[in-house]
A = this chain, B = another copy of it.
């Protein structure tokens, strides 16, 4: 049977590009894209992409060249997800929230040859190019710029000679797309961070993109003829692969430039949206918008959320409004979704808070992942399926990135031990569902027990005087590390009323003793990133200078017993 060879009839490299050609054949007249008054059919989208691919090639772009794009969710952003790989090149979508100097770092690192810029971003793009050119060196060559004017409402804004619709007009609709001979070839380049001199550019293969696209469609249960609202930026992991997925299903892409509540509700009502993605932080906006603009939805909208667990308090509310929420967990390195919290029908019968607790779990692996595991810290063994023992979530499969572009050290580190290390600490529940407890680097290891800083913070937030809380490790002479809490109190002069020992006593009452902070530091504010997350590395530096006082009680073995044992057996 080994003599049965691959040939062009039975072996075609996997690529999501095939979905577009198929859509043009199977759904020629169905709507592909709606954007304001602009409508395209799948046949038109295919022809426009063929034309654009041929124009891109005529600009001397060839295999493995990077083509960058800085644009919101407009039709061009969608089309480029096909046209660029159809030209043989690699698409690099840039986060529209970045500043000029970070964009310059990405352009230099990716050595982008072409740079497509939406008219609204001409200023920041132009600044970025100036910074790039001024920085000197062999990779500081300015890319050729193509301005994407608004297709629905042209502004005339330009930066250089080239304009998107003009490239499409000049392209050859009958030009054969680049022939993909190896499904391991790169298709996109997505940067996860870029503020340092060594940005992490995640490279996807055609194979990985194809497989995760199909798997997510299947596991989210996206049926035929979906109407998908582009509320999630396409620059996030290529829109969690739904860029390619909508072509696979021949669905409708509802493109919107802004994602205000008004825009979202207008689009839902105008186009009968069935599916959308968003981060849980957007739930507030959906609830607020619902009060301002509309009543309950006429038909259910399926919402896939990720990035953080959907908060219980909001989940019930948005579900009652007509949104059906599914929760996935992923990262750029896993081509978007890696785990999905597959809903089980019998959970429908549970009370709302229990349902929210189950839905907040990260879930089970995508079919495109060959394997997922939670490994004991500093070990190759799996944690027991007890919902309690923390370990690092590791992934393996065809939807894991090819690696980091021009960064062999980071690539080797990420793949150490033959698994992709997520850097997330989690537990495995008895039913096989994984739940994240903390970022691995924030876990506090105290006397062999792993303490989730997030769990301690959750209890601290429940204290009536606490406004903000962050917990990090500080050295402990006996247990190695122990938790140190940094706290911002509500209102002024609360510090005169609430003392360190009050907070510690509150914690000791509401969590296993070993988890309770040994030190509490009151602050006026916590160091924060632009994204409003606490910069724990700064707090860790401070905490390193502390040493926990060796209490008498800490000799008590009971303090470090697992919770179930210390509560149950009353030693």
Q: Is A225 an interface residue (CB 8 A)?
A: yes
Contact A405 B1 (CB under 8 A): yes
A17 (CB) vs chain B CBs: closest residue = B370
For residue A404, give the distance in angstroms from its CB to the closest CB of chain B. Answer: 8
Q: Is A506 an interface residue (CB 8 A)?
A: no
For residue A311, give the distance in angstroms from its CB to the closest CB of chain B. Answer: 24
Contact A364 B26 (CB under 8 A): yes
Q: With A26-B342, A367-B22 known to touch, is A12 a contact of B90 (CB < 8 Å)?
A: no
For residue A41, give the distance in angstroms from its CB to the closest CB of chain B. Answer: 12
Contact B8 A418 (CB under 8 A): yes
For residue A389, give the distance in angstroms from its CB to the closest CB of chain B. Answer: 16
Report which of B22, B342, B408 forms a contact with A224, defined as CB distance below 8 A. Answer: B342
Q: Is A431 an interface residue (CB 8 A)?
A: yes
A367 (CB) vs chain B CBs: closest residue = B248
For residue A393, give the distance in angstroms from its CB to the closest CB of chain B. Answer: 13
A346 (CB) vs chain B CBs: closest residue = B225
A345 (CB) vs chain B CBs: closest residue = B225
Chain B residues whose CB sits within 8 angstroms of the CB of A372 once the complex forms = 25
Q: Is A14 an interface residue (CB 8 A)?
A: yes
Contact A4 B364 (CB under 8 A): no
A402 (CB) vs chain B CBs: closest residue = B4
The contact string, 1 if C-beta is below 8 Å from chain B, for chain A 4-18, is 111111111010001
Contact A9 B367 (CB under 8 A): no
- CB contacts under 8 Å to B, within A23-43, are 25-29
Chain B residues whose CB sits within 8 angstroms of the CB of A418 once the complex forms = 7-9
Number of interface residues of A (CB under 8 A): 68
A370 (CB) vs chain B CBs: closest residue = B12
Contact A365 B22 (CB under 8 A): yes
Report which of B9, B217, B225, B248 forms a contact with A396, defined as CB distance below 8 A. Answer: B9
**A426 CA to B18 CA in the complex, in Å?**
23
**A401 CA to B6 CA in the complex, in Å?**
10
Q: Residue among A1, A211, A431 with the most chain B CB within 10 A? A: A1
Report which of B214, B397, B432 forms a contact with A215, defined as CB distance below 8 A. Answer: B214
**A395 CA to B12 CA in the complex, in Å?**
11
Contact A64 B1 (CB under 8 A): yes
Q: Is A398 an interface residue (CB 8 A)?
A: yes
Q: Is A378 an interface residue (CB 8 A)?
A: no
A411 (CB) vs chain B CBs: closest residue = B4
For residue A324, give the distance in angstroms from its CB to the closest CB of chain B. Answer: 13
For residue A422, give the distance in angstroms from its CB to the closest CB of chain B. Answer: 11
Report which of B2, B345, B420 forms a contact with A9, defined as CB distance below 8 A. Answer: B420
Q: Residue among A9, A184, A225, A370 with the most chain B CB within 10 A? A: A9
> 18 A–B contact pairs at CB < 8 A?
A1-B405, A4-B405, A6-B184, A7-B418, A8-B419, A9-B414, A10-B397, A10-B400, A10-B401, A12-B397, A14-B211, A25-B372, A214-B214, A221-B223, A223-B223, A224-B342, A225-B344, A248-B367
11 additional A-B residue pairs with CB within 8 Å, beyond A7-B415, A28-B431, A28-B432: A7-B418, A9-B395, A10-B398, A10-B401, A12-B371, A22-B364, A22-B365, A25-B372, A214-B215, A221-B224, A248-B367
